[in-house]
A = this chain, B = another copy of it.
Amino acid sequence: MDYTIGLDLGGTNLRAAAIDQTGKMIDKVAGHTNLSEGREVVVADMVKAIRTLRDRLGRNGLSGIGVVVPGFMDLEKGAIVNSNNLSSLEGFPFRDRLEESLETPVVLENDGNAAALGEKWMGAGRDVDDLVLLTLGTGIGGGIISGGKILHGYMGMAGEVGHITVVPNGNPCGCGNRGCVEKHASAQAISVMARLSGLGDITSEECFHLAMNGNEKAQAVFLSMGESLGIAVAMLVNIFNFPLYLIGGGALAAWDQFAPHMLGEVRRRSLTFRASNTRIEKATLGSEAGLFGAAYLPRMNSAPVRA
């Protein structure tokens, strides 16, 4: 059997899976990201999860290991430059430490890029070589697949689509900018706008249910959120002219509320969209996109950063 191991380190969950060359998940382990116990413990947990799978399935069939962590990455250094969720891991030389402990090469990647790659391999992007993914969670992550490969830029920091400015003087973002799309169209932004609308302390999901039941304040939240997302997607369409743009993440569940506004905004704002049959669709792998992407990393004939 030919398999790879993918590990996805999130703000709360640590998951690893063994996936074969056809994309079939053979085995999986799941645990917690024990941030409070310090980064040495987190790395030890990562190593343990990978070893568990490797021991169970044997080293013979193992074709590589891919590890996915959140935040702005410096792929040359193999470290996180900046992460809202895992700020205690900033600057930590992940790749080197993992390779040391596992005594084998590890391919490190940003979570958004890996999710985009996962969707390209086994999800909604299987039929194209070029796509952009936006993942609507606490923030907005995402990644760009160009010619079947992750667009890395020269330091591996490309694809930060959550930090597209959609409101020049909008809500402040941890990155230093104001009006980033992730501050106006993420699950967290939905929840914040609901509170500002007087709907109280509700989740994006609760806001969605209110909107579906006809609550006009909740519907106005999704109007704003959908238009903000549409501004960002329209720009991506104009810049890339790719055949496919995918929306994923937790807030995808509210698609019926925000998608009409998003699509209306893209249509208004993008001549390229109106002149083409560009598709804007739902991602299909859910929270496992990053895991699939992680496992695919060693199989990709990836252009090295700063070749």
Binding site for B on A (CB under 8 A): 72, 74, 81-82, 130, 144, 146-147, 151-161, 163-168, 175-178, 231, 234-236, 238-243, 268-272, 274-276, 303
Give the complex CA separation of A54 and B179 in angstroms: 54
Our pick among B155, B239, B276 for the contact of A276 (Cβ within 8 Å) is B155
- Shortest A235–chain B CB gap in Å is 5
- Shortest A7–chain B CB gap in Å is 24
Give the complex CA separation of A215 and B157 in angstroms: 41
Question: Which residues of B lie under 8 Å from residue A239 when comparing CB positions?
Answer: 144, 158-161, 164, 236, 239
Find the residue from A81, A241, A269 having the highest chain B CB count within 10 A. A241
* Cβ contact within 8 Å between A241 and B166: no
* Cβ contact within 8 Å between B72 and A272: yes
A157 and B275 contact, Cβ closer than 8 Å, known pairs A152-B241, A241-B152: yes
A234 and B157 contact, Cβ closer than 8 Å, known pairs A72-B275, A239-B239, A241-B152: no
* Cβ contact within 8 Å between A165 and B240: no
- Shortest A103–chain B CB gap in Å is 31
A269 and B176 contact, Cβ closer than 8 Å, known pairs A153-B240, A155-B241, A235-B165: yes
Find the residue from A74, A166, A176, A271 having the highest chain B CB count within 10 A. A271
Question: Which residues of B lie under 8 Å from residue A275 when comparing CB positions?
Answer: 72, 74, 81-82, 155, 157
- Shortest A105–chain B CB gap in Å is 23
Give the complex CA separation of A155 and B278 in angstroms: 10
- Shortest A123–chain B CB gap in Å is 19
* Cβ contact within 8 Å between A151 and B144: no
Question: Which residues of B lie under 8 Å from residue A175 when comparing CB positions?
Answer: 270-271
Find the residue from A153, A159, A166, A270 having the highest chain B CB count within 10 A. A153
| Chain A to chain B contacts (Cβ below 8 Å), 17 pairs | A72-B272, A81-B271, A81-B275, A82-B275, A151-B240, A154-B241, A154-B242, A156-B241, A157-B241, A157-B275, A158-B239, A159-B241, A160-B271, A163-B238, A164-B235, A177-B234, A177-B268
